């Protein structure tokens, strides 16, 4: 006898299959909508991840800064302690002879009398400065703070200013001459302006071509008659 075949389990058959037309229509027409939903969901997930990453970075930065501040404070405190210890040790080992020397110096300074500001020597001499091209003599005199010398210097300065100021009539003549020159230049520039170049219209071009052809024909006829 041949091998026996295995018997398959038969599932219960469905008597009738009913399709939901609305669900079928939504499935067939909702491909683009479902795709957009998936894109939105992916964007939201990416945004949430980026926010979480930023929060983590900020938290790490805060922790690092706080640790750096703690280290700086500890170092500062250590330095202050060292300085205080050094000052205390220096005060203990200070030599009392230094105080005595300071007191003696102060007493000597007090004993010295102030003689006042010394008067400078009078200035009244001449000096010569020789150069290869120039020879000058400079006289240096002591300043006289009297009223007469000050008034004399003021008079000299006023005379120099009056000599330097020009005559107003000369200024007016020069301004008139300048205006006349400017007017002449403007008139010359107006006369020397070039004529503006103008393009011919289509009708004008046709007329010029006809004239040229007529003139060429006349010239040709005159040559033939010769």
Chain segment 16-60, per-residue pLDDT in tens: 878 888 888 888 898 999 999 999 999 999 999 999 999 999 999
| Per-residue pLDDT at 152 | 59
Phi first, then psi: what are they for 38, rounded to 5°? -65, -40
| Per-residue pLDDT at 149 | 55
Look at residue 66 and tell me whether its pLDDT is greater than 60. Answer: yes
Please, are residues 141 and 122 in contact by the beta-carbon 8 Å criterion?
no
pTM over 0.85: no
Q: How far apart are CA 59 and CA 206, in angstroms?
A: 86
Name the average pLDDT for the chain: 75
| Per-residue pLDDT at 86 | 86
| SS3 per-residue string spanning the chain | CCCCCCCCCCCCCCCCCCCCHHHHHHHHHCHHHHHHHHHHHHHHHHHHHHHHHHHHHHHHHHHHHHHHHHHHHHHHHHHHHHHHHHHHHHHHCCCHHHHHHHHHHHHHHHHCCCCCCCCCCCCEEEEEEECCCCEEEEEEECCCCCHHHHHHHHHHHHHHHHHHCCCHHHHHHHHHHHHHHHHHHHHHHHHCCCCCCCCCCHHHHHHHHHHHHHHHHHHHHHHHHC
- Portion of the chain with pLDDT greater than 70, in percent: 56
Mention every residue, 6+ apart, whose C-beta is less than 8 A from residue 123.
Answer: 140, 141, 142
> Residue 20 — left, alpha, or beta (φ > 0 → left; ψ -120 to 50 → alpha)?
beta
Instruction: List, for residues 196-210, the tens digit of each pLDDT value.
Output: 677 788 888 889 999
| Per-residue pLDDT at 61 | 95
């Amino acid at each position: 006898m041949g091998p026996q075949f295995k018997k398959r389990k038969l599932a219960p058959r469905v008597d009738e299959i009913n399709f939901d037309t609305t669900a079928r229509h939504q499935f067939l027409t909702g491909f683009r909508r479902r795709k957009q939903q998936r894109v939105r969901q992916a964007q939201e997930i990416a945004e949430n991840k980026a926010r979480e990453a930023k929060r983590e970075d900020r938290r790490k930065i805060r922790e690092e800064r706080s640790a750096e501040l703690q280290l700086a404070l500890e170092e500062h405190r250590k330095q202050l302690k060292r300085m205080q210890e050094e000052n205390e040790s220096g005060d203990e080992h200070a030599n009392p002879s230094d105080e005595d020397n300071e007191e003696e110096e102060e007493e000597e300074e007090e004993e010295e009398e102030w003689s006042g500001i010394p008067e400078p020597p009078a200035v009244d001499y001449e000096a010569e400065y020789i150069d290869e091209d120039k020879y000058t003599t400079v006289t240096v005199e002591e300043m006289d703070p009297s009223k007469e010398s000050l008034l004399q210097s003021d008079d000299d300065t006023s005379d120099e200013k009056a000599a330097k100021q020009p005559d107003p009539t000369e200024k007016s003549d020069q301004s008139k001459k300048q205006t006349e020159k400017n007017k002449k230049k403007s008139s010359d520039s107006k006369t020397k302006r070039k004529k503006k170049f103008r393009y011919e219209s289509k009708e004008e071009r046709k007329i010029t071509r006809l004239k040229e052809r007529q003139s060429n024909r006349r010239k040709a006829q005159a040559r033939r008659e010769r």
